Structure formats: structure tokens, C-alpha cells
Structure 1
Amino acid sequence: MPAVAEMLKVSEAAVVSRVSLRDVNRVIDEHILPGAFVSLDSGRHVLAGACSLIALYFESARHLTSEERLFTIRTAEARLASARSLPWSALLREDWTVHHEFLTIDLMPFMRGARERLDDLAAAREAMASSPDILGGTPVIRGTRIPVYDVAASTAAGASTERILETWPNLDAEKIRLATIYAEANPLRGRPRVFSDLHEGSVILTDRCVPHRGRRDEVPD
């Protein structure tokens, strides 16, 4: 699994923190996350262990004030900085309670949640493959020629697991889940690609034509 000290892309950090990409960029831009946990070299990256603090900041917003959340993050900063060389198993044996006036805040649920989602991210990476010899380097599910982003797009479009398995019988529910995680952590850039042919093994889930609607100021012939 990713180490505590691994630097994640912001899209990966969003998945592990269970927040939006916009939220991750916000904690960087507004210096909510300590600078020691952020790298701006060759793109934006966030310390894997710090994803627990991002999750805390947004998930506890209904219960803690901004001041209380920032105090908690600043208090945890020194602990996490000193423990960043430790494996996650050792990190989870640390005391992650923070005391602020009359409040006692337990960070352990956020640490465990980040650890679990990092495990999922590692499994998603391992389940995918990319080779110039297979679909021109398009990421596929390992051992198949099934494009990862096609599976993820089907899930995003609301296709059930059963329907996706009818389309790609070589998959299973876990591979579908991991494909979705991988695609979310590694979003495609630019406009969607247009394929003239379906990929091998694909079938059309729906085939619907949407009539063109002219501009309101167009006058019919």
C-alpha cells in the first residue's frame, strides 16, 4: 500500500480523503493543510498521511468551528511529521487525541479511514495495466483488453453491476469497483475520445438519438 510519506497527486488525495478535487485544492491554496505536507514541484502533491487531516477538516465541519478544526490540524502536524517515516501499522498505534479547551477530538477514525482508502488505491493500481501493445497504451484491467475508463463510465452512467458483467463477463464486482477508484484517482484530461468501433467484447448498453434543438432565435423555413 502507499506509504505514509508517499506524495499523492491531488486527484488521488481527493479519493483517499473522500472529498472533491476542489476541496483538496482549497486546503492547499488557503494553507489549511500545513506546508510541510504539500509539494508544488512538478504539479501539486499531498502527503498520503495528511489525507486524514483533510478528511477531518471537511467531515467535522458540522460539529466543529473552523478555529477548532485548524487547531486540531496544527496540533496533529508535529505528531504526523515525526511519524511520517513509520509504516501505517505503527502510525495507527499512536495516540491521535487532541485536547482543545473543553473538547477532546479523536483523530483515529480519520486515520483508519485514510488507511483503508489508501489500501483501495493500491489495489486499484495493481489491478490495472498499460502497455503500448494493448489498445495503444490505454489503461486496461490487468489480464484483459477491457478499458478501465469504459468500465468506470458505465458505472457513472448508472449501469448496474449485473449489466456491466453481461457486457464484460471476464470481470467481477471487485474489479468493477477498483476500476471506478482508479478512474477517479486518475481522471482523463481533455475532451472524451471518440471511438469509431466498440472495443473487443463490448456491447451497446443504450442507443438513443437526441433530436437537435435549434437556437431560439432561429426562424423555421
Structure 2
Amino acid sequence: MLKASEAAVVSRVSLRDVNRVIDEHILPDAFVSSDNGRYVLAGACSLIPFYFASARRLTSEERLSAIRTAEPRLARSRALPWAALLREDWTLRDDFLTIDLLPFMKDTGERLDDLAAARELVTTSPDILGRTPVIRGTRVPVYDVEASVAAGHPMERILAAWPSLDAEKLRLATIYAEANPLRGRPRASTDLPEGSVIITDRRVPRVRKAE
């Protein structure tokens, strides 16, 4: 089972959309858990993008019918490896309507692999920044990396600030941070993150207003 925020990353939709498919029972109840938080069966994450991506071509009833038809097959994702699921026929047929869920299954499998790699990349330790999540083997806080990416800083600048990282680590750090968002308001700080270096220190003089 994945946290709702993780399911959003794997499904490539917003957290709001994940909450919607839970609240409106678009996903079968068997694929959702509300015990101590909201969780979605990993295999069911293929149904979430299908529901939204097919909205222009299929009615809500047709999409829900397809999801209910796929339910018994996806229930097996609890016991079967993902590679085995991909070898199955994911074509759904209902009278004149034919739907192929395989592209959604493949994309979900790739995103699950990315999520697993992102989890492996990040570590915490009481001896490193007081258990702040950092990139494994470094002291680089993962949320500082994600903030730099989200701010639109060029990759070259970010990699220059943290020479121990590379493009793949940046990508996975962003996935981890999105799947595990920080709670509350971020702490404001004027200090550079530990492990970074100054690229430029050009200061712009403050313009005083005329009295």
C-alpha cells in the first residue's frame, strides 16, 4: 500500500485527484485503506491516470465499468510480481468498447521503480543533521535539493552547488520529496544549505525612495 502522496507521484496526478478517487469511491474500496492515514494499493495506481486521461473519450459510467472489470485482475497485484502482471492481457471488452490498460500498467511499473529507487537514495541518521533526510553518502538535505529544482534553478547550477550529486540523483530526490511532502510551513533561513558552495555573490544595492 502507498501513502496518498506516494500514489499521486506514481499516478502522475495531484494529491487532490487521489483524494477525489478515494472520496468518490472511484477506486474499489478493496484498493483503499483509511487506517492511520490514507493508502492506495500500488497496483490500483494504474487506474487513477486511466480514469482522468480517458475522460474526453469515455463517459464516467464507462470508465467506472472498466475499473470494476479490472478489479479482480489488479487484486492479484498483492501476490504477484509486477513483471508477471505485465505479461497478462489487460484488454477490457464490453460490447463495442475495447480498452487496453497495458500502457497505464507499464507507466505505473516504471514509476514504482522510481519510487523504490528514491527511497533507497535517501537516508536519515541521528549523526547527520539530526535525522534530516539526506542523499545517501552525503550531507545534502533532500528537501533543499527539491526546493532548488522547484525554484527553476538550472541543473548545472544545482550540480555545481552540490558536486556529489548527478542528474539522476536530482530526479530521484524530487520524486522522494514529492512523495513525502514536508508538513507545516518551511523554516525560513538565509543560510546556504550545508554542503553547498557559492556560485555568485553579486549584491544589488537597495534603492532608497525619494522623500
TM-score, structure 2 as length reference: 0.92
Q: Name 2:74's counterpart in structure 1.
A: 80
Q: Name 2:143's counterpart in structure 1.
A: 149
Q: Name 2:113's counterpart in structure 1.
A: 119
Q: Name 1:100's counterpart in structure 2.
A: 94
| Amino acid across the alignment from 2:124 | S
1:104/1:140 Cα in 2 relative to 1: closer, same or farther (>3 Å)? same
1:40 shift after superposition: 0.5
| Amino acid across the alignment from 2:189 | F
| Amino acid across the alignment from 1:135 | L
Q: Name 2:32's counterpart in structure 1.
A: 38
* Aligned mates of 1:40, 1:31 — CA distance in 2: 13
1:55/1:172 Cα in 2 relative to 1: closer, same or farther (>3 Å)? same
TM-score, structure 1 as length reference: 0.88
Is contact 2:49–2:104 with CA below 8 Å preserved after alignment?
Answer: yes
Secondary structure (helix, strand or coil) at the match of 2:103 reads helix
| Amino acid across the alignment from 1:186 | N
* Aligned mates of 1:162, 1:32 — CA distance in 2: 42
Is contact 1:68–1:100 with CA below 8 Å preserved after alignment?
Answer: no
2:154 to 144, 160, 165: 160
Secondary structure (helix, strand or coil) at the match of 2:140 reads coil
Q: Name 1:192's counterpart in structure 2.
A: 186
* Aligned mates of 2:87, 2:174 — CA distance in 1: 31
| Amino acid across the alignment from 2:130 | G
* Aligned mates of 2:24, 2:167 — CA distance in 1: 39
Deviations 1:41-71 (A, max 9, x none): 0100000000001111011112211111101
| Amino acid across the alignment from 1:16 | V
Query: What fraction of aligned residue pairs are identical, expressed as a percent?
Result: 76
1:101/1:9 Cα in 2 relative to 1: closer, same or farther (>3 Å)? same
Which shows bigger deviation, 81-90 or 95-104?
81-90
1:57 to 51, 54, 70: 51
1:170 shift after superposition: 0.8
Q: Name 1:128's counterpart in structure 2.
A: 122
Secondary structure (helix, strand or coil) at the match of 1:98 reads strand
Secondary structure (helix, strand or coil) at the match of 2:66 reads helix
1:199 shift after superposition: 2.7
1:100 shift after superposition: 2.2
Alignment gaps of 5+ in structure 1: 1-6, 212-220
* Aligned mates of 1:33, 1:22 — CA distance in 2: 14
Deviations 1:16-35 (A, max 9, x none): 01100000000000000000
Deviations 1:190-214 (A, max 9, x none): 01023363232224578889x9xxx
* Aligned mates of 1:82, 1:177 — CA distance in 2: 30
1:201 to 171, 195, 204: 195
Q: Name 2:21's counterpart in structure 1.
A: 27
| Amino acid across the alignment from 1:29 | D
| Amino acid across the alignment from 2:57 | H
